[in-house]
């Protein structure tokens, strides 16, 4: 593990995997706030990782494509989005854009968690009364 500083002065713990299978194992073990993955990886590629349905359900995912992979079949990209990929970003990419996407996804998930928590509390209070 190493730490990444620089996104809005937040300290983020970064787990690096050498392949998709190892990345999926880390995702299951540590339940990260965000997954950023290459589409093409050894052992298990990014699309297979998503298709396995073993990624933590509330974890957003950004997949990176090299410029020459842009013509990844549109059907594959759509299937990835339907299975939970939040975005595809083409490499080389703007670090500002990536940081903005990361912060946006983290903010959205935080708001969703707060919403779910408040509604669960409300439902529980109604059942107790």
Q: Where are the beta strands (DSSP E) in the chain?
A: 2-7, 10-14, 35-38, 61-66, 87-91
Percent of the chain with pLDDT over 70: 73
| C-alpha of 75 from chain center | 20
Residue with tokens 């999926």: 24
- What is the reported pLDDT for 33? 83
- Average pLDDT for the chain: 76
pTM tops 0.85, yes or no? no
Please give the pLDDT value at position 87.
Answer: 85
Q: Alpha-carbon distance 120 to 6, whole Å? A: 34
Model confidence at 3, pLDDT cuts 50, 70, 90, reads very low
Peptide bond into 92 cis (omega under 30): yes
Range with lowest mean pLDDT among 32-36, 73-77, 94-98, 122-126:
122-126
Tens-digit pLDDT profile for residues 16-65 = 888 888 888 888 888 888 888 887 788 887 777 777 766 666 677 777 76
Classified as helix, coil or strand, 113 is helix
Phi then psi for 119, rounded to 5 degrees?
-70, -35
pLDDT at residue 2 greater than cutoff 50: no
Bridging pattern class, strands 61-66 and 2-7:
unpaired
CA distance 110 to 55: 18
pLDDT of residue 25: 87
Cα separation, 7 vs 116, in Å, equals 26
């Amino acid at each position: 593990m190493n730490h990444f500083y620089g996104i809005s002065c937040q300290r983020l713990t970064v787990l690096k995997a050498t392949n998709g299978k190892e990345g999926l194992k880390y995702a299951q073990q540590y339940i990260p706030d965000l997954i950023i993955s290459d589409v093409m990886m050894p052992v298990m590629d990014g699309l297979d990782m998503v298709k396995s349905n073993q990624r933590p359900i509330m974890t957003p995912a950004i997949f990176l494509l090299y410029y020459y992979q842009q013509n990844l079949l549109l059907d594959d990209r759509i299937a990835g989005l339907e299975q939970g990929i939040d975005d595809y970003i083409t490499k080389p990419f703007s670090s500002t854009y990536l940081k903005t996407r990361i912060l946006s996804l983290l903010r959205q998930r935080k708001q969703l968690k707060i919403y779910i928590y408040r509604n669960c509390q409300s439902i529980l209070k109604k059942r107790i009364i």
